[in-house]
Chains A and B, each alone.
Chain A
Amino acid sequence: MTQLVTQTVPVLDPNDTRPLLQIRDLEVGFKTQYGVVPAVRGVSLTLYAGQTLAIVGESGSGKTTTAQAVINLLAGTGQVTAGQILFEGRDLTALTPKEMENVRGSQIGYVPQDPMSNLNPVWNIGFQVEEAIKANSDLRGKDLRARTIEVLKEAGLSDAQDRLKQFPHQFSGGMRQRVLIGIGLSSRPKLLIADEPTSALDVTVQRQILDHLGTLTRDYGTSVLFITHDLGLAAERAEQLVVMYKGKIVESGPSKEILANPQHPYTQRLVAAAPSLASKRIQAKKHDEAAEIYSAGGTDTALIDRAAIREEQAPTRDLITVEGVSKLYRIRTKGLKYTELLAVNDVSFGIKKGTTSAIVGESGSGKSTVAKLILQLETLTSGRIEFDGRDVAGLTGKELLKFRRRVQPVFQDPYGSLDPQYNVGNTIAEPLLAHKIGTSRERQARVLELLDQVSLPAATQFRYPSELSGGQRQRIAIARALALKPDVLVLDEAVSALDVLVQGQILNLLTELQTELELTYLFITHDLAVVRLVADNVCVMQKGRIVEAASTDDVFDNPQQAYTQELLAAIPGGDFEFGGK
């Protein structure tokens, strides 16, 4: 396998061998009413000028806390309890708040994770960039304005001049992230901390932005401390890798070495779980459990066998037929004027019973709208959707309820789609109650059965969403969807918000349930790596149209359309050889 290396080349000053950033035995704790809970436990790492170092780990591993400790931006009650953070030889933990202000921005830049929440919604973009420059330089008036435009142009906003007066909500996620990168680099800091700078973005946008960030930091000789949960991304973008687990560093060294030959069991699991394109099916070992995808790494040939059998057995008639479906939105622009947006344009496909189909595309491609149309949450503009041989458009009353019982959704955000005031048992029982199924006792029994199906202990029914992890919540969302014994699950980015390991578990669970309950899945996702693992058929959508539709293998091994090829190429770490299998 050839390696396409696009990472930054370090511009090392041969005379300067002092590390830029040196963290020594750092410990960070969060004060709670039960005492101090440690989040970072004895972390040491060294970053030299011009280098890029990535900290990898799942959520809760302490990677973000470590990064935030460097510029003293710990959330809530967090504080450094021991250790040193030496920046150019100066201990940052000993600085006064005033001294720290002078380090932030000008010496150490910061690019945060979520572009949606990291710009103040009430100030325009120009103002927010300007104040960053103003805080760290003597530029004022016209010079300041000129520099603001320059910074935004460097960050890749070519029409910066016209957009200064616009507000964050008028920018797309990718553009906001460019603004944040611009702010982070505006004062040419020696060190840039990039905390999951692209996790919230589509793969293609992610690639553009990271390429751009790579170019900028290389040109300025900026060192980068890169925080990510994505191993492929880390390997592609950083020469040094630090793997964190439960607040400790379990492994560190050059990226490629770690990927090729992970030593620590946790790293091995992480490498194995990375749903990269490189984890080809050929490399996978065979397992007894047909549905096990992740437990020992890679996809299973057993899974493929199963798919093959399923294909043979599959009924010729489609369970869901989508025919020439279009959806037109009218968007009010100004006053009484409207513009029209064709979100879905003449889309046709079919889904056979017991199979998994995936619709992939970037945000704005119309994939979620298709899901809403099938779920009857939006009305069709034109076309026809048939479910089990019946036209579902315009179903009302009882008929619609019946349809809803058979087609259930699972949504992306496991934090937002569960009612925080409802305990788990009530949440799962709610659809049963809504459809007036069974007595109170029968519903109770069904809740326990469902919890068992999604591998959660029975006691979970008395707990509340806030007490559960993201993975557990998504299991509950699945249990709720299964409560009515549906035929079809529409999974709208159902695993996108989860860590790789948890993602693996949920995909495992879904595959098991599919065999057990003969479910049909429609996956809506932007993540091609996930598609490869679970889908039988793939539709690739772009700008409201299906540009390519074929079996998963065909799409991945022999993509016909340029757009599909582009999507495949944009997957981070797609060309790396992953070891530890």
Chain B
Amino acid sequence: MLWYTGKRLLQMIPVFFGATFLIYFMVFSLPGDPIAALYGDRPVSPGVIAQIRAEYNLDKPLIEQYLLYIGGFFQGDLGTTFSGRAVSDVMASAFPITARLAMLALFFEAVAGILVGLVAGLRKGKLFDASALVVSLLLISVPTFVIGFVLQYVFGVQLGLFRTTVSGSAPLDELIMPALVLASVSFAYIVRLTRASVSDNLGADFVRTATAKGLSRPRVVTVHVLRNSLVPVVTFLGVDIGSLMVGAIVTEGIFNINGVGGTVYDAIQLGEGPTVVSFIAVMVVIFVVANLFVDLLYAALDPRIRYAK
């Protein structure tokens, strides 16, 4: 087990460097000159431009720029935005908000998705199952922003049940509605995954044997069906942590939340290399750690993985 964890941690190293370099390379090959764009139509003296270029290391070759950046990254210096604010400051305000939103969404989709999927799988072909399938199909096919605007209009504007926009500090209760919107698509996938997995496992020989032991139906379902059905669902949830962080851009836009999505979007527009790369580097780390966590959870759920070579 220790060996397994260690191996996975070692695998993170090339992933981290590969991903950050790729992003760095892409951001700096974006068309247009960020410095010129910064000043818009105003004339700027070449000397000033050269000075700014030197300040942000833009005059050096790509590899050197990257190495300087990574060097700073490990010393906690993530560079500054063009407006002079430290990137680490921007992160400290944006990440907690998005993390809160994503975790809330993850909670909703996991709990509701598994529950609905389980019931649908147990009642395959019945009314509940059919409705769950239709609803999930609807959620998958309708774009998130449509769902977002509809919910915002119906529950926020018409019924006045929640604030249509989230305040600056983004407290948890204001994030409930955005989290539901953010979770909607993944919820639909989890319902379908759980449903398929449960109905597969229901037909398994060991479930029949468990019933033959004289166990009650609820026990057979929770102990022998549910746990075995969770492995594919957990995989999905792990990958989803990453997409929730990124997918929050749209939701954050609708509900006016000052999270990661908006910040990264603005930074890309401005061509603020250090900001984009730093944010994404942190996301890569979150993504990789989440996947490691999922792998460990696998091992907890399925002993065959735990004891495999």
Which A residues form the contact surface with B (CB < 8 A)?
71, 73, 75-76, 97, 101-106, 109-110, 112-114, 117-124, 131-132, 135-136, 167, 169-170, 180, 183-184, 187, 331-332, 334-336
Quick one: which of B3, B206, B213, B307 contacts A336, CB cutoff 8 A? B3
Given A102-B214, A120-B228, A336-B3; A180-B303 close (CB under 8 Å): no
Chain B positions within 8 Å of A117 at CB level:
204-206
Interface centre among B2, B212, B223 (most CB of A within 10 A): B212
Q: Which residue in chain A gives the minimum CB-CB distance to B212?
A: A110
- In whole angstroms, what is the CA distance A73 to B217 when docked? 12
Chain B positions within 8 Å of A101 at CB level:
214-217
Given A169-B304, A170-B307; A118-B214 close (CB under 8 Å): no
Quick one: which of B211, B224, B304, B307 contacts A73, CB cutoff 8 A? B211
- In whole angstroms, what is the CA distance A112 to B216 when docked? 19
| Docked-complex contact B302 and A112, CB < 8 angstroms | no
| Docked-complex contact B302 and A122, CB < 8 angstroms | yes
Chain B positions within 8 Å of A131 at CB level:
210, 213, 215, 219, 223
Tell yes or no: B143 within 8 A of A by CB.
Answer: no
CB distance from B303 to the nearest CB of A (A): 4
Enumerate 28 A-B pairs (CB-CB under 8 Å) in ascending A order: A71-B212, A73-B208, A73-B212, A97-B217, A101-B214, A101-B216, A103-B214, A105-B212, A110-B212, A112-B209, A113-B205, A117-B204, A118-B206, A118-B209, A121-B303, A122-B302, A131-B215, A131-B219, A132-B214, A135-B213, A135-B216, A136-B213, A136-B214, A167-B304, A169-B307, A180-B209, A183-B213, A331-B309
Chain B positions within 8 Å of A76 at CB level:
203
Given A167-B307, A169-B307; A120-B212 close (CB under 8 Å): no
Tell yes or no: B53 within 8 A of A by CB.
Answer: no
| Docked-complex contact A169 and B303, CB < 8 angstroms | yes
- In whole angstroms, what is the CA distance A167 to B3 when docked? 20
- In whole angstroms, what is the CA distance A334 to B4 when docked? 10
Tell yes or no: B119 within 8 A of A by CB.
Answer: no
Quick one: which of A75, A124, A336 contacts B203, CB cutoff 8 A? A75
CB distance from B205 to the nearest CB of A (A): 4
Chain A positions within 8 Å of B112 at CB level:
none
- In whole angstroms, what is the CA distance A331 to B307 when docked? 13
Chain B positions within 8 Å of A183 at CB level:
209, 213
| Docked-complex contact A106 and B214, CB < 8 angstroms | yes
CB distance from B117 to the nearest CB of A (A): 18
Chain B positions within 8 Å of A124 at CB level:
303
CB distance from A71 to the nearest CB of B (A): 6
Tell yes or no: B250 within 8 A of A by CB.
Answer: no
How many A-B residue contacts, CB cutoff 8 Å? 95
Interface centre among B2, B210, B227 (most CB of A within 10 A): B210
Quick one: which of B2, B217, B304 contacts A121, CB cutoff 8 A? B304
Quick one: which of A103, A119, A121, A180 contacts B302, CB cutoff 8 A? A121
- In whole angstroms, what is the CA distance A319 to B206 when docked? 47
Given A75-B203, A112-B209; A104-B307 close (CB under 8 Å): no
Chain A binding surface SS class:
loop
Q: Which residue in chain B gives the minimum CB-CB distance to A117?
A: B205
Interface centre among B207, B211, B301 (most CB of A within 10 A): B211
Given A73-B208, A131-B223, A170-B307; A122-B301 close (CB under 8 Å): yes
Interface centre among A103, A118, A332 (most CB of B within 10 A): A118
Q: Number of residues in B with C-beta < 8 Å to the partner?
A: 28
- In whole angstroms, what is the CA distance A102 to B217 when docked? 12
| Docked-complex contact B212 and A112, CB < 8 angstroms | yes
Q: Which residue in chain B gives the minimum CB-CB distance to A106?
A: B214
| Docked-complex contact B303 and A105, CB < 8 angstroms | no
Chain B positions within 8 Å of A114 at CB level:
205
- In whole angstroms, what is the CA distance A71 to B215 when docked? 13
| Docked-complex contact B309 and A332, CB < 8 angstroms | yes
Quick one: which of A105, A331, A332, A335 contacts B213, CB cutoff 8 A? A105
The B276-306 residues at the A interface (CB cut-off 8 A) are 301-304
Quick one: which of B2, B206, B219, B309 contacts A119, CB cutoff 8 A? B206
CB distance from A323 to the nearest CB of B (A): 32
CB distance from B72 to the nearest CB of A (A): 37
- In whole angstroms, what is the CA distance A241 to B234 when docked? 50
- In whole angstroms, what is the CA distance A122 to B226 when docked? 11
CB distance from B293 to the nearest CB of A (A): 19
| Docked-complex contact A119 and B209, CB < 8 angstroms | yes
CB distance from A430 to the nearest CB of B (A): 29
Q: Which residue in chain A gives the minimum CB-CB distance to B225?
A: A120
CB distance from A65 to the nearest CB of B (A): 13
- In whole angstroms, what is the CA distance A113 to B223 when docked? 22
Quick one: which of A109, A122, A334 contacts B303, CB cutoff 8 A? A122
Interface string of B172-213 (1 = CB under 8 A from A): 000000000000000000000000000000011111111111
| Docked-complex contact B213 and A120, CB < 8 angstroms | no
- In whole angstroms, what is the CA distance A105 to B303 when docked? 27
CB distance from B2 to the nearest CB of A (A): 8
Chain A positions within 8 Å of B219 at CB level:
131, 135
Quick one: which of A112, A334, A336 contacts B208, CB cutoff 8 A? A112
Q: Which residue in chain B gives the minimum CB-CB distance to A332?
A: B309
| Docked-complex contact A118 and B205, CB < 8 angstroms | yes
| Docked-complex contact A122 and B228, CB < 8 angstroms | yes
- In whole angstroms, what is the CA distance A169 to B212 when docked? 21
- In whole angstroms, what is the CA distance A106 to B215 when docked? 10
Q: Which residue in chain B gives the minimum CB-CB distance to A331?
A: B309
Q: Which residue in chain B gives the minimum CB-CB distance to A102?
A: B214
Chain A positions within 8 Å of B214 at CB level:
101-106, 132, 135-136, 187
Chain B positions within 8 Å of A167 at CB level:
303-304, 307
Interface centre among B203, B209, B219 (most CB of A within 10 A): B209
| Docked-complex contact B213 and A104, CB < 8 angstroms | yes
- In whole angstroms, what is the CA distance A124 to B219 when docked? 16
Chain B positions within 8 Å of A135 at CB level:
213-216, 219
Interface string of B221-249 (1 = CB under 8 A from A): 00110011000000000000000000000
- In whole angstroms, what is the CA distance A307 to B49 when docked? 96
Chain A positions within 8 Å of B304 at CB level:
121-122, 167, 169
